[in-house]
Amino acid sequence: MDLYSGHINRLIDELAALPGIGAKSAQRLAFHMINMPREKVERLAKTMVDARENVRYCKECYTLTDQELCPVCSNRKRDHNTIMVVENSRDLAAYEKTGKYEGVYHVLHGAISPMLGIGPNDIRLKELMARLEGDVDEVIVATNSSLEGETTAMYIGKLIKPTGIRVTRIASGVPVGGDLEYIDEVTLLRALEGRTEL
Ligand code: ZN
């Protein structure tokens, strides 16, 4: 038996398909939206479509941005010879929040995971290697300390070592399995300062 109208059911299904939204939250959000003024719902829908249409990858570091180059890459005051490799744009934002890192980034958009069938070609590794043909002094691997993050770090280390470019790994002050974005700034900075050669 269908408890709700088809429209509400469809809305609940769409919301429940989003990451981190369970069936109960989806219901709550759906009913909230039904009761919102029409203009607010239209603004929300338009904001989502606009973001989807206008956000793109920075042509240098591949983070999500509105411009051809993200604010970090277009900032000439940043140290463009030091590249920190992170798994996603949220991790980049976490390090940016510390305000202490002066280099630039490279966003992989994922990590190597044999279990999930994600290989080196499925993340932005080729793009990283292409950047190393320029002037680069150090690559700091700041992938998460999960199994996937460590696997990715080891792989990157092996790939870069032969080029002679210094490659380091942030210290494991970061708890195992911890997502960088949830870790406080002090811990992030300590992990950066305590980085070791890969
Ligand atoms: Zn960038």
127 falls in which pLDDT band (50, 70, 90)? very high
| CA-atom Rg of the chain in angstroms | 20
d(CA 4, CA 70): 44
Please say if the pLDDT value at position 175 is more than 80. Answer: no
The mean pLDDT value for 137-166 works out to 94
12 falls in which pLDDT band (50, 70, 90)? very high
- Report the separation in Å between the CA atom of 178 and the middle of ligand 1, taken as the mean of its atom positions: 24
pLDDT for 132 equals: 96
How many alpha carbons lie under 13 Å from residue 82 in its C-beta half-sphere?
Answer: 11
176 falls in which pLDDT band (50, 70, 90)? very low
- Report the separation in Å between the CA atom of 69 and the middle of ligand 1, taken as the mean of its atom positions: 5
Please say if the pLDDT value at position 184 is more than 90. Answer: no
- Report the separation in Å between the CA atom of 117 and the middle of ligand 1, taken as the mean of its atom positions: 27
Please say if the pLDDT value at position 174 is more than 60. Answer: no
**Residues near 20 by Cβ (< 8 Å), separated by ≥ 6?**
none
Q: Which residue is it, tokens 């708890």?
A: 175
The mean pLDDT value for 120-133 works out to 96
- Report the separation in Å between the CA atom of 63 and the middle of ligand 1, taken as the mean of its atom positions: 6
Please say if the pLDDT value at position 4 is more than 60. Answer: yes
Buried b (16+ CB within 10 A) or exposed e, 37-49: eeeeeeeeeeeee
pLDDT for 193 equals: 86
Least confident piece of the model among 20-24, 87-91, 179-183: 179-183
pLDDT for 182 equals: 65
